[in-house]
Structure 1
Amino acid sequence: MKPISLTIEAFGPYRDSVTLDFNELQDHSMFLIAGPTGAGKTSILDAIVYALYGEPSGEVRKTDAIRSDFAEPHRMTRVDFSFAIGNAQYRVERLPKQMVAKKRGTGMREQNASATVYEKKDGEWKVIATSAVAIRDTIQQIIGFRKDQFLQVVLLPQGEFRKLLVASTSEREELLHTLFRTELYRKLQEALKAAYDEAKAGIEENLTKQTAFMQSIPHDGATPMVTIEHVRELLANRGPHRDALAVERDEAVTVVEQFNVLRNQWSLYNQAQQSLAEATSKLDMVKARKTERVNLSEKVQFLNSLAPTHELYKQYIEKQAVLKTLEQALSDTKEHVELATQHEAKCLDVYSDLEGQAESIQAKRTTLAQFQQQAEKFNELDVLKKELSTLQSRLEELDSKKSEDALAKQRELVKALENDLESLRKQLRDNNKFLEDANVIQGQLNDLHRYSELLEEINKVQKEIDDKGQTLASLDETLQVAKVHLERLEHLMQEGRAFELVHLVVDNEPCPVCGSTDHPRLAAKPEMYPTKDEIEEARTARDVALQKQASEVGQQKTLDARLKELAKLEVEQCSKLKSSMDGFSKKNFTSVQQDLLTKMERLTALHGESELLSNTIADNEHKLKVARDKLVTLELAHNELLKNLHDLEIRISSVQANIDALSKTLPITDIDAWQKQLESLDSDITLYDEQVKVSKTNLDTAREQLNAKRGRLETLSSQVKEETKNLNLRYKNYTKSLQSISLTENDFVEALRDIKEIETYRIQLHALDEAFNKAQAVYDAALKVAETVVKPSDTVSDEIYATAVEHRDILVGNLAAWDKETKHIETTLTSLEALEAAMGEAREKVKFLSRLNDLANGGEQGFKNVTFERYVLGAILDEVVYAANLRLQKMSRNRYSLERSDYTGGGRGKQGLDLAVMDAFTGQSRPANTLSGGETFLASMALALGLADVIQSYAGGIHMDTMFIDEGFGTLDPDTLELAMETLLQLQASGRLIGIISHVPELKSRIPAHLEVTRGDDGSTAKFVIN
């Protein structure tokens, strides 16, 4: 992540909008954030963290306290941060929940928190997230860190930069997992554990199946099968018993089959006798209908002989029907001719009447022509009258508008608005005189707020000093105990060494130590002989106590200096308050502040009232302008109206003169009466012409229809005569045929009824012949079968037969059940043998997977509590430690170096990623939390820089382009500070941007690029300065 710009407004100590463009740093990759205490240096970093994660940096600062105390009620607290990740650019805009002034009226309202994330695409910012959850996930995906990880790697906040150094294995594992994307190794662990669990579950499942198979096998006695050999033995013993069951079943089956043969013989005999009886009965029934067949045959022969006569009869009947139809048509046509004759006469009468009216219609035509010649004059007269009416209406309308009431009312409205506006302006001027004190009171409140903060910080520092005093007293006691213990052990060590030399001392001979031949008091054996390790341990304990004491003394001195600085600031601020506020003292601080707050509330309400007055004045000014414009418009319209009235009166006189002159040339002046006469004449003539045309058409049509009907009458008369001749001929032929067959006409008509049913008689005759032939054939076949089937000599009762069948079914069922049981045992044996073979391979697989699972997940067979992923992260951490030590050893003059703790003790906690510090002066490793403040800062900074180097070397997708360090340099001595600065300056070549917050003067001269934060009475400002 590389910052591009940061805009903050009403945030922390910043009242106004402040924009920081990081491009102003140009080629400088390191800059110092400088400014007095409390000016707002850390607030810059808070704003970046708040923009990204919705919370400020550090554990003390809270989101609900980030709004500036200097901000006016109408100003919104907001942060706008844009940054680059590789070639992509992003922007986050965030506003916290806050109380702001209402837009209308007075008072405050709560503004909900809001945030938006943008990405620059094609030169424009596109929204990619707005909801809280979406923004959290989007930022974490873009940056690659959660907030706590961001504060351990990118931004090292004041008082919390040591977290990465002293983090537990679990915390460090989670951070490294996120940074280096080691999900693959964790997935491999999970896959191996899943494979082991699956294989183990498979064995347990097979054991369950094996038990179920064993329990499903039938057995004798109370003990079930327990081994495969037992199953094989059981299967081998079932053969003989099965053979005995088969013999018994075959005997029973044979008996039943013999009974079935005898019962089938009786069934065939009875069936043959029954079939013969049925065939004989059917044949007798067919023979009984012989007389019926003879009668039916004779009737068919008689009806066939009538066929020629029947054909002649049909021809006669057809001709008779044709003649009847023609005679009816002839009668109808005669009636139609009579009607057509009458209609033609009527049409002729109507036409003759219309010809008699021709002279009167001609007279009307002449009159109509005369009226049409006068139409143009009447039209001109009508136009003039209409124009006169329109002009008179317009004159009345304009005359009604001539009233000056509206003009007078508009003049009164303008005057009233001018008076109201002057009154409102006077009230606003009075309010502004009171509001001139608002800025003074706000400045006094800001000074009181800073004074309150100073008092709180003084109390806090004083409490810390008191706590340090108690801690130092305890450390002094611990140090004295450690010194006494060390001196005692060293003394015992010396006594022990002296005692070791006693055996070298010989009476009257020189002492190998002092050379004296007199040995008055030899060294006695000490009460205990301490080992070198015990003495070294005591010395280490003393050194640790000394270091802690030195660290606490240093911190106490820092606190004392800070307390003096705060006390000086408190005196200065108190003096400033006394000079600006009469009667101010430290005792009445609370009451003065409350009085000012009360005044400020009243002024805030007055400010709202003034804003309302300003809005009202603006509205009234607009209303006045509209009213004045309308007054001008009304005056112009009134003058125009008077002119139009005069012009109308002149035009009306001219039109009336034209009407009078034209009326004198016409016989009548009533245009409506003239129009009615014209329309009546035209209507009469048009109606007459239409009636003549219609009557002529009707007469012609009637004559045509009459002629057509007369021709039809002649044709039908000729056809009737011809068809009468044909009918007589057909009748003659028909009667001649009746004589030839010796039948009267009545007998033939009677016979016609049977002729219609002749086909039915033929079908019935054929059916009788078919039934007789079929009955005879069935009888012959049944007789033949009955003669061949022999009656059985023996019988079997139903009871004996049922008992035999039941006995056979029981034996067949027993054998089938036995075979089914045997098949089940064989199948079960096959399954058991397959399971047994599979279990051997599965057990080996489980052993193999168990070892792999333990190795990957930190089990007993691997590195206990060190998983595969943690092992890989340990290797990465070794690289981080190596990179960190390149800087830490230089900054600590080769005294300190970080190393990964090899502690593998018991317990179930996570292990493998713990860090320790190797002290070259003592040759011993110790926990990182035992370092002093300055040493901790150096180690933490080296670790963070080393981590950044390793992250950049990996293609993990996380960009470590920026680092911010808040304080810590003040705990370093000058030489160590110089080494730390050299280390940081070397980073400029890598292109990484580093921002530092510090009060150390040496840094200002060493770092040319500054972000200078300036504190003022009405809030702080910030800007980049390149020296």
Structure 2
Amino acid sequence: MRLHRLTITAFGPFADTQEVDFDTLRAAGIFLLHGATGAGKTSVLDAVCYALYDAVPGARQLKGGAAKDASLRSDHAPAGTYTEVQLELTLGERRLEITRRPAQTRPKKRGTGVTTEKAQSLLREYDTPGTGWRALSRSHQEIGEEIGQLLGMSREQFCQVVLLPQGDFARFLRADAEARGKLLGRLFDTRRFAAVEDRLAELRRGAEQQVRAGDERLLGVAQRIAQAAGAGGEQPLPAQHPGDPGLAPAVLAWAAVARSTAYEHADIAESALAGAESGQAAARRLLDSTRELARLQQRFADGQRRAEALEARRPQYEAARARLERARKADRVAPALTLREDAERAHRTAATALDRARARLPAELTDTGADHLSALERKMIEELGRVDAARGAERRSAEIGRERAELDRQARADEELLADAAGWLADWDATRRGHQERIETAQEAATRAEQLAGQIEPARGQLAAARSRDALEARAATSRGLLNSARERANEAKETWLDLRERRLRGIAAELAAGLVPGEPCAVCGSADHPAPARPGAGQVDQAAEDAASAASRSAEEAVAAAEREHASVREEYAAARSTAGGSTVAELAALTERLSREHAEAHRLAAGTHAAREALDRAEREREDRLTAQQSAENRVAARTSRREALDREQTALESELVRARGDAGSVAANADRLADRARRLAEAADAVRDFDTTAQRLKDGDDRLADAAFRAGFDTPREAAAAMLPEVEQRGLTHRMDDWQAEAATVADRLAESDARDAAERPPARLDAALVSYETAESALRAASSALDGARARSAQLTGLSRQAEEEVRRLGPLRTEYERVARLAALTAGTSTDNDRKMRLESYVLAARLEQVAAAATARLLRMSSGRYTLVHSDARGGGGKRSGLGLHVVDSWTGSARDTATLSGGETFFVSLALALGLADVVTDEAGGARLDTLFIDEGFGSLDDQTLDEVLDVLDSLRERDRSVGIVSHVADLRRRIPTQLEVTKSRRGSTVSLRTGGTDG
């Protein structure tokens, strides 16, 4: 990396545009960057870092986008000047130009107030002299990735190897192993080794969790074995816990004992079951024989009881048999009886129908015969035919009436339509004027709405500005009070500091005398004798008290500056808000805004009706045309209906004479026809009723004759006696079934009383069934108990066998897991530095960093030997720290004058500076090689040269000058006056009330 040109505008303490020509500085090899305290020497380096990484070095980087960007802008810069940093440099073989602008506020181009300008970045590349600069990207992310790839190092690495912060390396020398490890870890990116440690620790935790889960499962199986063993278990459950290596053997041994005990209990239960089965078989045989004897005795007794009951029912059997025989004789008379009953029912029905038909006839026809009634029916039908012929004329007359009613309805509708049309058309002019006025009103409202819309936004902005003005007025008063308080505190702090300084100067002799050593020359007079050294007086002030007061004074001044900036910002915002708001109050502006908004809403509402008003006028015009057309059509229909009504009147007159004749004395032709049809129907019904009565009377007489003959042949004296002897078929079947049952029962009883085994059993003593049953139930209960005990013993044995196999399977699965856990745990402990095999307690990351630190120490020693005239050598130490601390990142300085090594924390101020400088240069070389060997042609060293004596300063400058052999340029950032004499090429930063400026001096001339 080679820097060419840096341009800074409104950045840090620089108000105007400042340019640094690094090509001129590089030609000198070593150049001095100096200036008064607070002038902005470090800000030049911040600008380089900001251009490359869009951020300043970590110690000065603020958190948060707005706060960070605000901290970069110069407080001295005018409001219209943009904060910008532009850096031209060469990376590899590419010449690039990077431009950065942080987010910042600027005055609005229109109106008053300020707006926020977003952060901007631009990357350009110089192709050839003919082509010139070519834009590459405007994306922050793309530019950051491109620069990061070309540099090959992070911002932390760049700030450590290019902007060498001497104070950081002094702390690095005095730091412990943990602090050194953090810095080296950031520079060399050993996160992958820390990730290996974390990964192994994670694997160890995972493996441990799997082992514990396996142990938990094994203990769960052991618990189930204990539950299955129950009271028969003679061994207690193993007391081991998850993670105990001896858990698996203990569970397997305990399961084997429980399983053997269950086998023995099963054998005992099997022997007890065999004895119970023998007892139960003997009791069963006794019970079966007793039951058989009781059955036979009961069977014989039942036969005797049934025989006695059968003999008692014999009279009923004989009576049923006689009744059944008489009923079967009467069945031969049943057909004749049925025919006679049917004839009688038919005759009664015919007589009833005849009475009903004669009641509907006139009195003179009640005794008329069937033939005369039929003749009268035919005459009525002929008359009905003549009346039906007139029904067509009657229907046409009714149609004419309906048609005339429809014509009247149409006439009324047309009259209403003509009246409505005439009334609506009479108001047409007024209606049209009303619609036109609505359109004109809506158009005027639209114009008014546009005017009000242009007034609302300014009114709202003025209202917001008035509210902001009132709020900022209170803030301005508060900030003014804070500023006055800060100024008072600053004055008090400065007076305190000046007072302490004056008191210290008055007692400076005592302070110098405190540093006198007998025999050594005085720093003031040079004498080795100190006869009367000054003594400190009461209230002596030392340098620490003065420095503390000076720091307090500077802090108070910084607080005043911050309060002034805050007050100025509030005043500026207040002035802008007051200018926008004018002299109106918030209430007046709020009322004005509300009135304008209300009037605009009303005007907008009225304007929105323009389209509706136009459509209403169009609809009214269309309706007028429709009403005119409808009026003309109605008038035409009125004329046509007059002609049609006259024709209908003529036709109605012709039909009326024919209808008078057809109606007769009835109200209508239909009524007359219905009357004639009813008379013909009654005559026909009466003729049919007379014929049915005569026919049924003859059938009844014939039925009486056949019934008397059938009863005599069946053996009955009269038909009535035969009817009484008849029985329904169901009752006959019932008598037959009862007789069959009695006969079957008689045969069964005879067979049972004839059985020899039942008769022999009846002669024996009664059977004792209850005693045999009790004996059998006792034996059966004993058998069930023995069987249940055997089943339980076998089930327990089978369950324990299965659980034992499950425990063995869990142990087999747990073996590889435990082996893997032990292997991973050993590796994790080894890399974490907690293993006994790692005698130095060195972590893996620390081991890698120790190797890097050893390279850094070797590179630093090459320069340290020249700076110290061959006296000091920097070596790496991996000895363990005290108190059990981890080792690997120790640093010792070997003094060749004494041959002893001592810790870097014991170095003096001057020794610490050049040792840390050598360490910084060595670290820069190693980090550069680590980052891919990217060439770094420009280095900056910040402060620390004031602690060196002349000889050491010359040696250090010689070492820095030797860097020119690699075509490097070194910038020394210092305010030491002696360096201005030794280094001719200088970049001076001068501060003033209007901001700092940068000037270049080469060989005593200004540039």
If the length of structure 2 is used for normalisation, what is the TM-score? 0.48
